[in-house]
Chain A
Amino acid sequence: MGLSVNSVPEIRFEGVEMKYRTAAAEVLALQQVSLDIAQGEFVSLLGPSGCGKTTLLRLMADLIQPTSGEVKVAGKSAREARLARKYGIVFQSPVLYEWRKVKHNITLPLELMGMKKAMREEKAMELLELVGLKGFEDKYPWQLSGGMQQRVAIARALSMEPEILLMDEPFSALDEFTRERLNEELLSIWAKVKNTVVFVTHSIPESIFLSDRVFVLSPHPGRLSAVVDIPLPRPRTPEMRDSAEFFELIAKIRGSFEGR
C-alpha cells in the first residue's frame, strides 16, 4: 500500500459537535470530537449511557448530521459514502424483515443494488456459511434464536461488501456466553473480510478483546476523553481474557473515564 493511500484516514471527525433541541432546552450530545480511524482498523466506542457513543456512530453513518464540524469518509462526505454504499450497519436488535426468509433478508441490499437473482442467492449462501448459519436459509427470522438472528444481521450488513462495518451494541441483548462466542466469531469473520469496523459497546472487556484501539467517551456533555491502544496480538484467543495484560488494560481504561 502506498503512502498516499495511508495518509487519508478512512474516517475523520474534525471538530464535530452535536446539539439536540428539545422543547425545554438545548442538549449538547457531543462536544468537539476530532478523531481518525485508519482503513482496516477495528475500533470500539466505549462509554456509559449518555456519553454520545451511539450519536457518534450515527454521525458516521449519515443517519444524522452534525450541528458543526465535519465527518469525512475516505476524504469525502459521510453522505457521499452512504450513497456509494460503503456502510454496513448492525443495530442492537437484529431488525430483520419478518416477511422475508433468512436468505432473502441477506439479499435485500443486493436487490437494491440491482444484482441478478442467481448471483445474490449465491452470495447469501456464502455469507450464511461465513456466519455459521448454513442450512437456515429458508427459515423465517422468528424461527431463529436471538444470537442467530444477530448473525443474520451481520451477514446482511456484509452483503454489500462494505468498506466500513458499523455496529451499535450488537451483542448487548444477548447472554454472556453467546456474546463471548459471537465476539470470537466476529473477529474470525473480520480476519477474512478485512474491512474497517467501528463497534459501539458499554462493556470494557468486550472492547478490549475486539479492538485495535478503544475510544473512551465520557458523559455530560458527551466527549472523547481518551484513546487507548490495545497491543494484544492477533489472532485473539479466549485465554487472553484471563491474562494479566488484559486486566491491566481494564484498569487503564477504567482510569481514563472523566467526571467520576
Chain B
Amino acid sequence: MRPQALLIRNKLIPLAVWVVGLLVVWEGLSWFLLHVARVPLAQSRLPFVHQVASAFWKYGHTLLKEGGVTIGNAALGFLLGAAAGGLLAVLMSLSVWVERLAFPYAVASQMIPILGLAPIIYGIVRDEQVSRILISGYITFFPVALNMLRGLRSVPAASLELMHSYAAKPWAVYWKVRLPAALPGLFGGLKIAAPLAVTGAILVELMGAQHGVGVIMLRNLYYGPSHTYMFWATVLAGAVMGIASYLLMSLLERLVSPWQPEFRPKGGGE
C-alpha cells in the first residue's frame, strides 16, 4: 500500500498537474489569439484544445484505421532494421575489418536526408508499403547498430578472462556474456529508433500514398483552415504513436533486462 501511495504522490500527481496546466495554458492562449489579439487565421496557429480533442474523438475510427497501417509498416521496418543493426554490431565486434569496412558507410548513410531519400526509394520500388518499411528500417538500423556495438564492447576485461579460464568456446562467450551485457545498449538504441521509425513511415506517406496517418495529415492540410482541427488531430495521433512505441520498448526493456542499475530501488539493496 505504502509504495503505491508514494508512487501516486511523487509521480502521478505532478504529471497530472503538468498535463492539465499545459492544456489550460494552451486553451487560454488559443482564446487570446482568437478573441483578444484577433490575429488572422488564429485557429490555424493554435486551435482550441477541445476542438482538436473532439475531432480526435469524432474521427477516432479513421485515425485508428490509418494509424494501424502506418504502425504496421513502421513496426515491420523497425524489426528488420533492428535485426540488421544488431547483426552488423555483432559482426563489427567480431572483426575489426568488418568494422573498418562497414562503419564509414553506416555513418555516411545517416548523412543522407530522409526527405530526399524517401522519394528515391519510392521511385525504385514503386510500392508505398515497401518504401515505408524500408525507410523505417533504414532509420532504425544506425542507432541500434551503434548502441549495440558499444554494449558488446562494454564487457570488462576480467569478465572475459574468467570465461577464458573456464575454457569457454567463443560462441559461449557471446551468448552468456557479451550479448547479455549488450542488452542495455541495444534497448538504448531501440528506444531512440522506435519513434523515429514511426516518423519515417509518416514521412513516406506525405510523399504520396493511399493509406496512413500521413495521408490524412496531408489531405487536411490541403483543405485549409476548415480542416485545421482534423489536421492537428492527425499530428496528435502521430505523436501518440511515437510515444506508445517508446513506452513499449521501455516496457520490453524492463521485462528482458530487469537487473539494470536504473531499475533498482533507490537507497541500495536490502
B 237-270 binary contact with A (CB < 8 Å = 1; else 0) = 0000000000000000000010101001000011
Stretch at the interface among B8-16, B69-77, B92-100, B159-167: B159-167
Indicate the member of B162, B168, B169, B172 with the most A CB atoms within 10 Å. Answer: B162
Q: Which of A76-98 contact B (CB under 8 A)?
A: 82-85, 87-89, 91, 93, 95, 97-98
Query: A109 vs B168: C-alpha distance in the bound complex, in angstroms?
Result: 8
B264 and A142 form a contact (CB under 8 A): yes
B161 and A142 form a contact (CB under 8 A): no
Would you call B111 an interface residue if the criterion is a C-beta within 8 Å of the partner chain's C-beta atoms? no
| Main SS at interface, chain B | helix
Q: Which of A52-102 contact B (CB under 8 A)?
A: 61-63, 82-85, 87-89, 91, 93, 95, 97-99
A140 and B259 form a contact (CB under 8 A): yes
With contacts A95-B162, A97-B159 known, is A142 near B167, CB below 8 A? no
Q: Which of A62, A89, A139 contacts B162 (CB 8 A)?
A: A89
**Which residue of chain A has its CB nearest to the CB of B163?**
A112
B 129-165 binary contact with A (CB < 8 Å = 1; else 0) = 0000000000000000000000000001011011011
A112 and B167 form a contact (CB under 8 A): yes
- For A172, list chain B residues within 8 Å (CB): none
Q: Which of A91, A99, A139, A142 contacts B183 (CB 8 A)?
A: A99
Query: A121 vs B88: C-alpha distance in the bound complex, in angstroms?
Result: 36
Q: Which of B166, B261, B269 contacts A112 (CB 8 A)?
A: B166
Q: In the complex, which range does the number of interface residues on chain B fall in? A: 20 to 34
Chain A proximity of B178: nearest CB distance (Å): 11
Query: A108 vs B166: C-alpha distance in the bound complex, in angstroms?
Result: 9
Q: Which of A137-187 contact B (CB under 8 A)?
A: 139-140, 142-144, 160
- For A84, list chain B residues within 8 Å (CB): 167
Indicate the member of B172, B257, B259 with the most A CB atoms within 10 Å. Answer: B259
With contacts A95-B156, A99-B183 known, is A61 near B165, CB below 8 A? yes
Q: Which of A63, A93, A98, A99 contacts B164 (CB 8 A)?
A: A63
| Main SS at interface, chain A | loop
Chain A proximity of B154: nearest CB distance (Å): 12
Q: Which of A62, A83, A88, A99 contacts B180 (CB 8 A)?
A: A99
Q: Which of A85, A93, A99, A144 contacts B167 (CB 8 A)?
A: A85
Query: A7 vs B95: C-alpha distance in the bound complex, in angstroms?
Result: 46
A85 and B261 form a contact (CB under 8 A): no
- For A140, list chain B residues within 8 Å (CB): 259
**Which residue of chain B has its CB nearest to the CB of A145?**
B269
Query: A63 vs B233: C-alpha distance in the bound complex, in angstroms?
Result: 62
Chain A proximity of B229: nearest CB distance (Å): 49
Q: Which of B41-87 contact A (CB under 8 A)?
A: none
A99 and B172 form a contact (CB under 8 A): no
Would you call A14 an interface residue if the criterion is a C-beta within 8 Å of the partner chain's C-beta atoms? no
A111 and B176 form a contact (CB under 8 A): yes
A143 and B180 form a contact (CB under 8 A): no
Query: A241 vs B264: C-alpha distance in the bound complex, in angstroms?
Result: 41
With contacts A143-B269, A143-B270 known, is A99 near B162, CB below 8 A? no
Known: A63-B161, A140-B259. 4 other contacts (CB 8 A): A61-B165, A63-B164, A91-B158, A95-B159
Instruction: Please name the 3 residue pairs, one residue from A and one from B, whose CB atoms are nearest each other, closest first.
Output: A143-B269, A95-B158, A99-B180
Q: What are 14 A-B interface contacts by the 8 Å CB criterion?
A: A61-B165, A62-B165, A82-B165, A83-B167, A95-B156, A97-B159, A97-B176, A112-B167, A112-B168, A112-B172, A140-B259, A142-B264, A142-B269, A160-B166
